[in-house]
Amino acid sequence: MQIQYPKGMQDILPSQTGMWQALEDICRSASARYGYREIRTPILEKTELFVRGVGEGTDIVGKEMYSFRDQGDEALTLRPELTAGVARAVLQHNLMELSGTQRLWYYGPLFRHERPQKGRYRQFYQYGAELLGSPYPESDVEVIQLAYDILRGLGLSEFSLKINTLGNAASRQAYRDTLVSFLTPLADKLSAESRNRLGKNPLRILDSKDPGDRELLADVPRFGDVLDEESRSYFAAVQDMLTALDISFVVSDKLVRGLDYYSHTVFEFSTDKLGAQDALGGGGRYDGLFEQLGSKKKIPGVGFAAGVERLLLLLQEEHLAIGKEQGPDFYLVGLDDESRAIVIKLARDLRLAGKSVLTDLQRRSLKAQMKEADKAQALTVVIIGEAERVAGIVRVRNMATGEQVEYSIDTAAVQLGQL
């Protein structure tokens, strides 16, 4: 059997890279408009970073990481998400000493060992942004707005924004306790999965799709009931600003998000066009992350990440094309050895003048080369054969109109360079 890529990986072929690059460009320029700067961190990090940063109780750390020990017996992991690595880099280089606010964006591949399916890969790409240093709701809104701009910038419309609050640390702990004492007596009725979560990550039980669980959860205490005043007004401020910016959203108290480090605002952009994997991107505030990573200072942060493959899938679903391929400026046809020598020089001159030039390398017939030029969508074809050499000219054909003119062979490079 032919060697194939590992399960859940994929090749991005030349016919698709235009689309990928266009998406990257849109992310880049949106980031720049908001004053975010790119950060690149290693694809490989110490395993401990994710265990501490993402949380041991999470599925990501519990069962999805590509972890191994290298030749020096160091425990390493292919990054399953990017926020932890960015936070690590910020601490390692004391970036917060440079400025009270850091606006960062990133783009790159992540790895999670899950069963692949539509919109879910073991190596997948995320664009994301992190806003560090501000504890105020306007920063949550800035990040949501950036994400929203990118989705709209791509031309997407078939998505919705869900938001929720997890409250401040005190509220979250209080709710966690309330939830655990409510659910513990019911433990033997819960699904195995949820029972397991009761000790490790009880908030995620709210998310359960198990019908039995859903019934038990019908009269679970509401998060809103235990939110303190600070948490309440914080969330209200976020909603007010989103409304003022005409960004529509729905509040969903089932939105909990998988990672340990979130607090206050969490949000998710989702679509109903992609089947089971409906989350396009999401994020939230994570005021506790840096302390979990050993920072002595409190560094508040808010961030989001979007799944590139899912955005591209949705673009196709909505029949939106980005990054269309463009043909070369010129296709140079040479019909015999001497003509081909002229073609090689002319191609060089045109390329030096900044033109894109394609030539035939199969020594094929005029007709075959014309077909090739047409397929490549060349704007102009230049033909040189024995007859042209004898006459001291080249034939220049406009492929859109079919018009054909003659240039002197000596001035052709200059004249063509001006087209």
Residues near RNA, by CB under 7 A: 1, 4, 6-8, 58-60, 64, 81, 112, 114-121, 124, 126, 193, 204, 207-210, 257-259, 268-269, 275-282, 305-307, 309-310, 335, 364-368, 370-375, 381, 383, 385-388, 395, 397, 399-402, 404
- Reported in sequence order, the residue ranges of 166-300 that DSSP labels E, i.e. its strands, are 250-251, 263-270, 279-285
Q: Which is nearer to RNA, 123 or 168 (by Cβ)?
A: 123
Q: Which is closer to RNA, CB of 230 or CB of 386?
A: 386
Between helix 14-33 and helix 137-153 the angle, nearest 10°, is: 150
Q: How far is the CB of 395 from RNA (least distance, A)?
A: 5
* Least distance CB 311 / RNA (angstroms): 8
Using alpha carbons, list the distances in angstroms from residue 369 to 21, 150, 304, 364, 377.
29, 42, 49, 6, 12
Q: How far is the CB of 306 from RNA (least distance, A)?
A: 6
Min separation Cβ 222 and RNA, Å: 20
In terms of DSSP H, where are the helices of 293-357? 308-317, 337-352
Q: By C-beta, is 141 or 373 nearer to RNA?
A: 373
Q: How far is the CB of 96 from RNA (least distance, A)?
A: 24
Query: Which residue number, 35 or 155, has a Cβ lying nearer to RNA?
Result: 155
The tokens describing 348, both together, are 């060089």
* Cβ-based nearer residue to RNA, 134 or 208: 208
Nearer to RNA, 2 or 94 (CB): 2
Contacts of 400-408 spanning 24+ positions with Cβ under 8 A: none
CA distances from 315 to 9, 23, 119, 153, 267 (A): 21, 10, 13, 11, 21
Q: Which is nearer to RNA, 39 or 305 (CB)?
A: 305
Smallest gap, in angstroms, from Cβ of residue 386 to RNA?
A: 5
| Smallest distance, RNA to C-beta of residue 170, A | 23
Name 334's bridge partners: 384
From residue 330, alpha-carbon distances to 30, 116, 318, 400 in Å are 34, 43, 34, 12
DSSP 8-class letter at 402:
-
Rounded Cα–Cα distance for residues 263 and 171 (Å)? 9
Q: List the structure tokens of 397.
A: 């054909």
